[in-house]
Amino acid sequence: MAHPLSPLWSARSIAVVGASDRPGALGRLPVEFLQRYGFAGAIHPVRPDGAEVLGLPSYPSVRACPDGVDLAMILVAADKVPAAVDDCVSAGVPAAIVCASGFAETSDEGAALQDEVVAKARAGGLRLVGPNCIGSVGVANRQVTSFSPLFAGEQTRLVDGPLGFVSQSGALGYGAVSLAFERGLGLGWVVNTGNGADVTALEAMAAVAAEPGCLGLLGYVETLADGDALRRVAASGVPVALLKAGRSDAGQRAAASHTGALAAGDRVVDAALRQLGIARAHDVDELLDFGDAFVQPRRPAGPRVAVVTTSGGSGILAADEVDATGLQLAELAATTVRELDAIVPAYGATANPVDVTAAVMSRPELFDRAPDALVDDAGVDLVVACFCVLTGTDVDAVVASLARAAERSGKPVLAARTGADHLAPGAAAALRAAGIPTYPTPARAVRAAAALHRTVECDVSDRHAGVSRRKRHTQREGAGVPGAGIGERELKVLLAEAGLPVPIGRLATDGADAAAAVTEVGGRAVLKAVVAGLTHKSEAGGVALDVTPADAAQVYDRLAALGGDVLVEELVGGGVEALVGVAASPLGPVLTVGVGGVLTELLNDVALRLLPVGRADVEQLVDETRLGTLLSGVRGAAPSDRDALVDLVLDIAALVETWPAGFELDLNPVSVTGHGVRILDAAYIGPEAP
Amino acid sequence: MAHPLSPLWSARSIAVVGASDRPGALGRLPVEFLQRYGFAGAIHPVRPDGAEVLGLPSYPSVRACPDGVDLAMILVAADKVPAAVDDCVSAGVPAAIVCASGFAETSDEGAALQDEVVAKARAGGLRLVGPNCIGSVGVANRQVTSFSPLFAGEQTRLVDGPLGFVSQSGALGYGAVSLAFERGLGLGWVVNTGNGADVTALEAMAAVAAEPGCLGLLGYVETLADGDALRRVAASGVPVALLKAGRSDAGQRAAASHTGALAAGDRVVDAALRQLGIARAHDVDELLDFGDAFVQPRRPAGPRVAVVTTSGGSGILAADEVDATGLQLAELAATTVRELDAIVPAYGATANPVDVTAAVMSRPELFDRAPDALVDDAGVDLVVACFCVLTGTDVDAVVASLARAAERSGKPVLAARTGADHLAPGAAAALRAAGIPTYPTPARAVRAAAALHRTVECDVSDRHAGVSRRKRHTQREGAGVPGAGIGERELKVLLAEAGLPVPIGRLATDGADAAAAVTEVGGRAVLKAVVAGLTHKSEAGGVALDVTPADAAQVYDRLAALGGDVLVEELVGGGVEALVGVAASPLGPVLTVGVGGVLTELLNDVALRLLPVGRADVEQLVDETRLGTLLSGVRGAAPSDRDALVDLVLDIAALVETWPAGFELDLNPVSVTGHGVRILDAAYIGPEAP
């Protein structure tokens, strides 16, 4: 059975609700475009008066249309949308596109209307795209169910290709489509989701990925609020690139704990996309650049790039970007260098980046050997070939050499061509036809190569969970869930019951009891004021270090005066201080690991992952921050027990799985000593009441 | 008198040495191009046999050419270049372009040949461009003294404009020229400097800037090794953008001190360009984007950007980039918002970014008011207008509105047009003619705006020196210059004599003397082993803190056993630890200020400036790192004496002015307490012997 959203691009019968015959009217454009671009299915204008639209008979309702409408395009104003949706439901239409503005993007009343419309659709089994959107396109089906002015352009042609493009924004989305078509990048499936009231951009992307022939997905999104949907897109089996707008909103969220503040906004998005193997584009042209890399069928087995160029300058620019993107310049084998020595003049370079020099362009039989030599090197995963002023006479030989090397080896070959199109008018099309994605500059080619690598570096099975996680979780099943107002002491008891390492200690009842407790924990202790709402204890004078039985009573009195309990704990000294936290995010709970203790705010150095995680994720988290360096021992210090910290993090990740959504857990500092680890401070902030 | 390099673009009589009549020969191309593009001056082919070249008589030598050659283009092979240079010298030619490869880029022999050629030229008063270069272009003069294949392109046209472009790389440089011409960006002066053996890229840039009508400079460079030349370019009075390749070389330099390691490579380039108000481009298309912004005549008075868009998505992308580039989103005045309220539909936005919505495009009389409203707001320094699918019918009205607003207000207006060219084929030219630089995406428009702002944010007088520096320097004139092997104690004496705050202390002769010295400095002291070559004392156990007279003898014995002297100094506790250093760089001495002490390597958080600096520079240096936060007091700590640190840094900057080039001075830590500052550790590494 076809996907319920497939009528967005493969409809057989389309009702245009609110169709008009008046030139320039919104209600005329989709009918005009469906006819103009050659849609072969049925087009049914729907309008109350039964008048013809562009020569087609109209119907008073969707229900009255013949032969089973499978997509309704609703172009009426917002206040008429509920009735149109009712009509679609009663006609049994599976999917509708609602174009009107005036919903949640406008006002509270609009939001209420939107909720009403979505409720009707869901109750009636109708999937609803929009409102406040411009529609969809299915190129193979010649289906333009959109009113974008792009399709009115005299020279506009649909360009088919194995790439899907989904955009929350309509105007920007179809602007990007026009740029893709202009560069010859085919987009077989285009959807604009607008307000995303029912069908979200992520859901539409997953649906496109399921289409036979889809080789990649591009998306423009402004909100990312569904971790599971994002995982489904990532696991769809095709490379995915997202342009996520709204980066600068980072940190706008009021957060009650360090972990909350550190895990806010764009940082979560960045970590999640990285973790899920989704390439992140930072601009529209970069998103299309990534698409060009996705539609060629080869994938790199690793990050090792060989750069071959006819200009030393291009080679340096490419090498700079290899470094900046985290790819690696391949170390060429001695046999490769020997082969290149036979080609390259003395003023060129046979080390990577390989500069064959512009002179070689006048001897195609020499250049011809270079791409082969590079792809045949086992230490090379992909090749970036950089040209400058590529003229008509050079093109055929270059294209043939690059295409043969790519095809023979199965390694991706990307090209940069830093020169005007008119110098070799056929080059762009020839390179595209040969499966060599081509960019205007070396840096853009390398960034596209990095995006391609990003989509293959984590394999899909890793994107779900780690086996080790499940196993550890089983061991901890008895552990409880913290109550909303849980204090530090009770939280530590809960953690201890779950098998996690907290300091020995107890609450003291008075000064004499405090002295006794100090003796019980070994004669040297930390005393802490446990006061509801006091999260930054040290700054408030609520912590006393290295208390002996002799000082205990006096310290007790001072801390008790802050208005809460006094906790006496063993003194744990000399460890590296880590932060381990879990915070809520729109994409689900986020694990945060980094430098803790007094350096927390100063360094602001944490790494993030969506839960669940496996051991490899946690090892990476530690290494992404300076915590990894600190644990290995700096300035002559002995190394700390990194394994114990990793175990602790995995245990925490497993423990919180059963906790209700929306909490924050902040373990800071966690002291990592030479042997073992101890949670010195712990705070829990429960989900806010709804 | 004309600039000695002006024949590179305004020659009246050109000798082509090694000219050929054979189609496709290198020696034929410049003659062919000079004729084809309409050079009106004299063209004199020079070749031994006197044969005609393209219908022109040839001469056996430059000396034999009539009417005073003012530019020689030397196309002979490397081994024949010395004789050709001799010929030019004896003919009194002021400038020559040497094209051949086979010089310093190839081998040691080639380097020797290059030195020989440069020596001949300099002795004979001949300025030499190249070798290993492709030549120059002066568009107004119709002068193509270049053999780039670009000029053989059937559709190639020279595009004049008020921008100069200088490139070290030939192939990449002319590739960029072809892309500039293709987008309609005129480059009136183009120079390729190749090996830069005599005329460097920076010198050529300064010469172009001196041409009447030059409004901006673009440069591609691979080496930046002359701080004074860079300052001259920055102070030339026109905006400058540089694409500096070779970023990833950072950190390759072996460095003897922290300061040396922290001030290496690309970090210096980045700091120097920022300091001098030169915009840094990271790719070829970005360099040209900046050029588009430079050629419009208006300059922003500040960083406050108003974004106006027909698509919410574009607005968000623009706002993201405003944030990323360090510009600011303007806070619109209430009157501006009221005016916009009258234009914008309910589903748009009248806050910045202003979303007038796509619907407004169909009512040009409404859109027309938006640019005026924004430029009339005193809180707006420049406007970025973002469009998506801009169609033919929209263009005229949009261009008129934007142009009028820009011209009336004198504020720059930049545009983004995220849509295919063919939808409004005249738009690019119309926007350009109206002085509205236009980019394919909002982010690119904003980055160009940031580049424009960068070139005006520091005024040219600041680019040289600070008055305060000179004054302070006078006060310190008696201070000495350290000797090559100076130890910590002698260096501190030298610093103290210059009026700088070092701890009280002295060398101890034995254990008993150490105890006496501890008493002299106040009863609590730091003891340090002073051993030649031992730079990381703490890690080597060479520092003992908080030594009392009672422990002094025992500690003395332990430290003396490390093989050097033992220094006894007063204990200075509790301050914020800063690093202050000066290191050598290819651009001259670099001042380094940042977080010091135990956090130095962990944070790697320093900021750099080329010397000399003024007080405002030093204040900025402090704020660019976490040192600023630390000094203001974190986690309840009292603020430290920031002014004393700034004074110290200015004194150091003044002191080292008379020191010989190539040294490293490393003051780390400098302890900044509540009142005052103290240099706790100091190391000097002299310039290496030549």
Distance of CA A254 to the CA centre of its chain: 23
| B357 confidence band (pLDDT: 50, 70, 90) | confident
pLDDT digits (tens, 9 = 90+) for A426-441: 898 999 999 999 999 9
Q: Are B62 and B48 in contact (CB under 8 A)?
A: no
Percentage of chain A modeled with pLDDT above 70: 93
How far apart CA A621 and CA A650 sit, in angstroms, is 12
| A1 confidence band (pLDDT: 50, 70, 90) | low
pLDDT of residue B260: 58
Helix (H, G, I), strand (E, B) or coil at A336: helix
List the single residue in A with minimal CA-CA distance to B311. A171
Closest Cβ–Cβ partner in B102, B179, B283 for A347 = B102
Q: Which residues, including other chains, have CB under 8 Å from residue A406's CB and lie 6 or more apart?
A: A296, A298, A371, A375, A383, A412, A413, A434, A435, A436
Could you give the angle at which helices A442-457 and A284-294 cross, rounded to 10 degrees? 60
Per-residue exposure over B406-415, b if at least 16 CB sit within 10 Å of its own CB, e if not = beebebbbbb
Q: How many CB pairs under 8 A join A and B?
A: 231
- In A410-502, the DSSP E strands lie at 413-417, 438-439
Give CA separation, B647 vs B468, B474, B654, B674, in Å. Answer: 10, 14, 11, 15
Closest Cβ–Cβ partner in B132, B174, B388 for A171 = B388
The answer to whether A51 contacts chain B (CB < 8 Å) is no
Q: Are B354 and B340 in contact (CB under 8 A)?
A: yes
The B residues from 456 to 515 touching A (CB cutoff 8 Å) are none
Helix (H) or strand (E) holding B457: helix B442-457
| A479 confidence band (pLDDT: 50, 70, 90) | low
Q: Are A217 and A236 in contact (CB under 8 A)?
A: yes
Helix (H) or strand (E) holding A166: strand A163-167
Beta bridge partners, A608, equal A592
From A184, A130, A170, A101, select the one nearest A8 (Cα to Cα).
A130
From A13, A54, A21, select the one nearest A145 (Cα to Cα).
A13
How far apart CA B649 and CA B655 sit, in angstroms, is 10
Closest Cβ–Cβ partner in B222, B322, B389 for A313 = B222
The strand order across the sheet containing B135-138 reads: B143-146, B135-138, B189-192, B163-167, B216-221, B240-244, B279-281
Determine phi and psi for B315, rounding to 5 degrees: -60, -40
pLDDT at A474 over 60: no
Q: What is the 3-state secondary structure (H, E, C) of B13-63?
A: EEEEECCCCCCCCCCCHHHHHHHHCCCCCEEEEECCCCCCECCECCECCCC
pLDDT at A250 over 50: no
pLDDT of residue B687: 84
How far apart CA A230 and CA A273 sit, in angstroms, is 9
pLDDT digits (tens, 9 = 90+) for B531-555: 877 766 777 788 898 899 999 999 9
Which residues of chain B lie closer than 8 angstroms to A313, CB-CB? 167-169, 171-173, 220, 222, 245
pLDDT of residue A225: 85
Distance of CA B349 to the CA centre of its chain: 38
List the single residue in B with minimal CA-CA distance to A312. B169
pLDDT digits (tens, 9 = 90+) for B111-154: 999 999 999 999 999 999 999 999 999 999 999 999 999 999 99
Query: Reduced to 3 DSSP states, what percent helix, strand and coil does chain B have, rounded to the nearest 5?
Result: 40, 20, 40
- The verdict on a CB contact (< 8 Å) between B246 and A316 is yes
Q: Which amino acid is at A305?
A: V
The stretch B642-670 carries a mean pLDDT of: 94
Q: Longest C-alpha distance within chain A, in Å?
A: 99
Give the pairing of strands B664-672 and B328-329: unpaired
Q: Are A220 and A243 in contact (CB under 8 A)?
A: yes
Is A607 exposed, middle or buried (CB count within 10 Å of its CB: 0-12, 13-18, 19+)? buried
pLDDT of residue B259: 56
Between A136 and B358, the higher pLDDT residue: A136
Domains of chain B in sequence order: 7-245 (3.40.50.720), 298-457 (3.40.50.261), 465-475+482-570 (3.30.1490.20), 576-685 (3.30.470.20)
pLDDT of residue A361: 76
From B360, B308, B345, B269, select the one nearest B608 (Cα to Cα).
B269
pLDDT digits (tens, 9 = 90+) for B222-242: 988 899 999 999 999 899 999
How far apart CA A641 and CA A365 sit, in angstroms, is 59
The answer to whether B312 contacts chain A (CB < 8 Å) is yes
- The verdict on a CB contact (< 8 Å) between A172 and B314 is yes
Q: Are B662 and B689 in contact (CB under 8 A)?
A: no
How far apart CA A428 and CA B478 sit, in angstroms, is 68
Between B348 and B455, the higher pLDDT residue: B455
Between CA B46 and CA B51, with CA B50 as vertex, the angle to 5 degrees is 100
pLDDT of residue B256: 46
The answer to whether A179 contacts chain B (CB < 8 Å) is yes
Per-residue exposure over B364-403, b if at least 16 CB sit within 10 Å of its own CB, e if not = eebbbbbbbbbbbbeebbbbbbbbbbbbbebbeebbebbb
**CA-based end-to-end distance of chain A:** 39
List the single residue in A with minimal CA-CA distance to B349. A106
Between A37 and A571, the higher pLDDT residue: A37
The stretch B303-312 carries a mean pLDDT of: 94
pLDDT of residue A511: 92
pLDDT of residue A259: 56
pLDDT at B618 over 70: yes
How far apart CA B200 and CA B219 sit, in angstroms, is 11
pLDDT digits (tens, 9 = 90+) for A275-284: 999 999 999 9
Give the pairing of strands A354-355 and A304-309: parallel
Lowest mean pLDDT across A57-61, A67-71, A459-463, A635-639: A459-463
pLDDT digits (tens, 9 = 90+) for A439-453: 999 999 999 999 999
Between A252 and B58, the higher pLDDT residue: B58
| A633 confidence band (pLDDT: 50, 70, 90) | confident
- The verdict on a CB contact (< 8 Å) between B313 and A173 is yes
How far apart CA A395 and CA A321 sit, in angstroms, is 25
How far apart CA A110 and CA A101 sit, in angstroms, is 9
Beta bridge partners, B606, equal B594
Helix (H, G, I), strand (E, B) or coil at B552: helix
The B residues from 137 to 156 touching A (CB cutoff 8 Å) are 148-150, 152-153, 155-156
List the single residue in A with minimal CA-CA distance to B180. A420
Q: Are B275 and B458 in contact (CB under 8 A)?
A: yes
Helix (H) or strand (E) holding B669: strand B664-672
* Number of neighbouring beta carbons within 10 Å of residue A620: 17
The stretch B37-66 carries a mean pLDDT of: 96
Report DSSP state, residue B187: -
How far apart CA A118 and CA A135 sit, in angstroms, is 17
Place of tokens 């020696």: B27
Q: Which amino acid is at B606?
A: V
| B470 confidence band (pLDDT: 50, 70, 90) | very low
Distance, in angstroms, between A220 CA and closest chain B CA? 9
pLDDT of residue A260: 58
Closest Cβ–Cβ partner in B170, B171, B389 for A149 = B389
pLDDT digits (tens, 9 = 90+) for A170-181: 999 999 999 999
- The verdict on a CB contact (< 8 Å) between B311 and A420 is no
Between A123 and B267, the higher pLDDT residue: A123
How far apart CA A380 and CA B475 sit, in angstroms, is 61
pLDDT digits (tens, 9 = 90+) for B62-78: 999 998 999 999 999 99
- The verdict on a CB contact (< 8 Å) between B153 and A311 is no
Which residues of chain B lie closer than 8 angstroms to A319, CB-CB? 248
pLDDT at B251 over 70: no
Determine phi and psi for A177, rounding to 5 degrees: -60, -45
Q: Are B667 and B581 in contact (CB under 8 A)?
A: yes
**CA-based end-to-end distance of chain B:** 40
- The verdict on a CB contact (< 8 Å) between A285 and B444 is yes
The answer to whether B671 contacts chain A (CB < 8 Å) is no
pLDDT at A476 over 70: no
How far apart CA A522 and CA A353 sit, in angstroms, is 63
Which residues of chain B lie closer than 8 angstroms to A154, CB-CB? 422
pLDDT at A320 over 70: yes
How far apart CA A235 and CA A227 sit, in angstroms, is 12
From A474, A390, A404, A463, select the one nearest A436 (Cα to Cα).
A404
For the whole model, what pTM was predicted?
0.93
Which residues of chain A lie closer than 8 angstroms to B168, CB-CB? 313
Q: What is the mean pLDDT of chain A?
A: 90
From A129, A139, A119, A312, select the one nearest A204 (Cα to Cα).
A129
The stretch B268-276 carries a mean pLDDT of: 93
Closest Cβ–Cβ partner in B148, B420, B598 for A635 = B598
Dihedral class, residue A55 (left if φ above 0, else alpha if ψ from -120 to 50, else beta): left
